[in-house]
Amino acid sequence: MHKTMNLKSKIFIIAIIVIVSIIVIKKKVIDPQPVREIKTNMVYIGGSGKYYPKSNFSRYYIEFKDDKTYILMKDDSRRHQENYNEDGDGSCPEIEFLSGSYEIKNGNYVLTMIDIAGVEFKDVKAVKNKKINKFSYKKYKDGKKIKLMVILTKKGNYLLGYLDSSGKSHDEHSFYYWLYNKSDIKKLPSSVEEFRKQFKMDKKAEQERLTGQNQ
């Protein structure tokens, strides 16, 4: 009787250990982890605040290249239709593309913007069909330093955000995005041209947008 009970106890303990081990392995290996080391030619993803973005949440992507250039993309095309133009704010699905050079200062990645482009969509259906109603582009020949940067936090992980007034930490009162590995996109467009080629201009939707602007 005692031997049977001891055997059951051992099996129970082993089962608990196995379950806990699986959970730990999943969290450390399978689940997305905050970025603690920046590697070149790797795409990182950032959701709002400290969180990995859910499928219908907006997000940032960033990739640093060996030649000291970077690609930054803001994707706000993932939300549900009812989450756009709330209270008549005029918002619509859009994606923004930036590229330029970077330098590392005090562990932070300071960004200089050279190219900025953006596309807008009429609605969520247009996003699925990759049909846009607006494309914009601007080039800064001499480069333009931007306040948004990749910052090394006191916890040892990186985030996309803004420095506070001290210049030593990120501003917790401004928008910031923890960077994670496990990006759902493995390759970002390498140029404005490549970014633009992903989409087709919907002439009818473009005209509707322009007409609405002139009213």
User: Regarding beta strands 69-76 and 200-201, do their DSSP bridges make them parallel or antiparallel, or are they unpaired?
Assistant: unpaired
Mean pLDDT value across residues 177-181: 98
Asked whether the whole model's pTM tops 0.95, one would answer no
**How far does the chain reach from its first CA to its final CA, in angstroms?**
87
CB 41 within 8 A of CB 57: no
Overall number of domains in the chain = 1
The confidence score (pLDDT) of residue 2 equals 55
Q: What is the pLDDT of residue 19?
A: 56
CATH for 195: 2.40.128
Q: Is residue 2 part of a domain?
A: no
Spatial CB neighbours of 83, under 8 Å, sequence gap ≥ 6: 56
| In-domain check, residue 16 | no
DSSP annotation of 170 reads B
Please indicate, yes or no, if residue 25 is contained in any of the structural domains.
no
> Mean pLDDT, the chain, as a whole number?
90
For 68-109, the pLDDT digits (tens) are: 999 999 999 999 999 999 888 889 999 999 999 999 999 999
Domain that holds residue 104: 40-213
Query: In which band, very low, low, confident or very high, does the pLDDT at 11 lie, cut at 50, 70 and 90?
Result: low
Residue 171 lies inside a defined structural domain of this protein: yes
> Is residue 130 domain-resident?
yes
Sign, Cα dihedral of 149, 101, 118, 201: negative
- C-alpha 49/C-alpha 70 separation (Å) is 22
Residue 52 within any structural domain of the chain: yes
